[in-house]
């Protein structure tokens, strides 16, 4: 089967899955299975077939019991996030999708700025901020390559995004460091790996970059049996 035919079939399958998900969401709302808030956001989400989270939100949102492909509570626990953030922490989230993960984290940090270049996703994220009356988080619809700010951040989230920003890994890390406080931390997550013995050599690449140090690392279960690596990194 040619690559083009595979692409067409995958595209058709994604659109069909999205159509079924729309019908299911509508029926679930009518039958009282999901709330109006979840239905409203999901209806917006499903208007366009997304690359991540075709039939479900990419991230779950625990305060309103919104399900998602990736479990936010599990991620917070596995990253040991509350060890590294507190009410004085200013967070920058690169490529945060709709922002369910960071919107949850906003409850126990000082502030969050999320950058996402997909306007459909940022619009839904902003609707959630309004719905939840969250004042300490902002969502910016922008390509990270064009992002400029005088503000320095205490923690930067880079969660399975570095391959999508259109920069070399080394250049990307260098740009992250320009937005990091002197004692700040970066939480880096790899893209999907298929077993604990096959990875994208993120650790080896990080160790070759001067001026940074890995202070913690681990593996996090993704969905469908996939596993990702994650690293907490700081400036030397």
Question: Do both 37 and 91 map to the same domain?
Answer: no
SS (H, E, C) 173-214: HHHHHHCEEEEEEEEEECCCECECCECCCHHHHHHCCCCEEE
Question: Do both 101 and 143 map to the same domain?
Answer: yes
Q: What's the confidence (pLDDT) of residue 16?
A: 58
Kind of pairing between the strands at 180-189 and 153-159? parallel
What is the Cα–Cα distance from 208 to 94, expressed in whole angstroms?
A: 22
Q: What is the mean pLDDT of residues 98-103?
A: 96
Domain limit, last residue, from 19, 40, 64: 64
Question: Do both 18 and 84 map to the same domain?
Answer: no
Domain count, the chain: 2
Range of the domain at 168: 72-235
User: What pTM, to 2 d.p., does this model score?
Assistant: 0.89
Q: Which two tokens stand for residue 134?
A: 């969250």
Q: What's the confidence (pLDDT) of residue 4?
A: 53
What is the Cα–Cα distance from 193 to 189, expressed in whole angstroms?
A: 11
Q: What's the confidence (pLDDT) of residue 232?
A: 98
The SS3 call for residue 91 is strand
9: pLDDT strictly greater than 90: no
Question: Do both 13 and 129 map to the same domain?
Answer: no
Q: What percent of the chain has pLDDT over 90?
A: 66
Instruction: Assign residue 160 a region (left: φ > 0; alpha: ψ between -120 and 50; beta: otherwise).
Output: left
172: pLDDT strictly greater than 60: yes
Question: Do both 60 and 142 map to the same domain?
Answer: no
Q: What's the confidence (pLDDT) of residue 14?
A: 60
Question: Do both 122 and 142 map to the same domain?
Answer: yes
Question: Do both 101 and 175 map to the same domain?
Answer: yes
Question: Do both 145 and 28 map to the same domain?
Answer: no
Domain limit, last residue, from 64, 88, 116: 64
Question: Do both 27 and 81 map to the same domain?
Answer: no
Domain limit, last residue, from 29, 64, 99: 64
13: pLDDT strictly greater than 70: no
Of 14-23, 92-101, 215-224, the poorest mean pLDDT is in 14-23
Question: Do both 79 and 165 map to the same domain?
Answer: yes
Average pLDDT of the chain, as a whole number: 88
- For the segment 16-53, what is each residue's pLDDT rounded down to a tens digit? 566 666 777 778 778 878 888 988 888 888 887 666 76
> What's the CATH code of the domain at 149?
3.40.50.150
Question: Do both 17 and 122 map to the same domain?
Answer: no
- For the segment 110-132, what is each residue's pLDDT rounded down to a tens digit? 999 999 999 999 999 999 999 99
């Amino acid at each position: 089967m040619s690559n083009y035919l595979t692409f067409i079939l995958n595209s058709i399958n994604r659109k069909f899955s999205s159509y079924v998900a729309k019908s299911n969401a509508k029926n679930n709302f009518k039958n009282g299975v999901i709330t109006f808030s979840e239905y409203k956001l999901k209806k917006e989400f499903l208007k366009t077939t997304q690359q991540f989270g075709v039939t479900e939100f990419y991230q779950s949102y625990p305060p309103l019991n919104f399900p998602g492909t990736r479990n936010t509570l599990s991620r917070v626990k596995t990253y040991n996030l509350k060890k590294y953030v507190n009410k004085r922490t200013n967070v920058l989230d690169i490529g945060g999708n709709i922002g369910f993960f960071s919107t949850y984290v906003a409850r126990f940090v000082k502030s969050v700025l999320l950058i996402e270049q997909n306007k459909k996703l940022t619009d839904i994220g902003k609707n959630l901020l309004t719905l939840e009356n969250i004042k300490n988080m902002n969502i910016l619809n922008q390509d990270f390559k064009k992002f400029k700010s005088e503000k320095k951040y205490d923690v930067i989230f880079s969660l399975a995004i570095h391959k999508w920003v259109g920069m070399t890994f080394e250049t990307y890390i260098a740009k992250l460091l320009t937005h990091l406080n002197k004692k700040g931390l970066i939480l880096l997550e790899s893209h999907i790996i298929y077993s604990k013995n096959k990875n994208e050599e993120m650790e080896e690449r990080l160790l070759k970059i001067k001026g940074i140090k890995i202070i913690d690392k681990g593996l996090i279960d993704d969905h469908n049996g996939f596993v990702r690596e994650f690293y907490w990194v700081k400036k030397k």
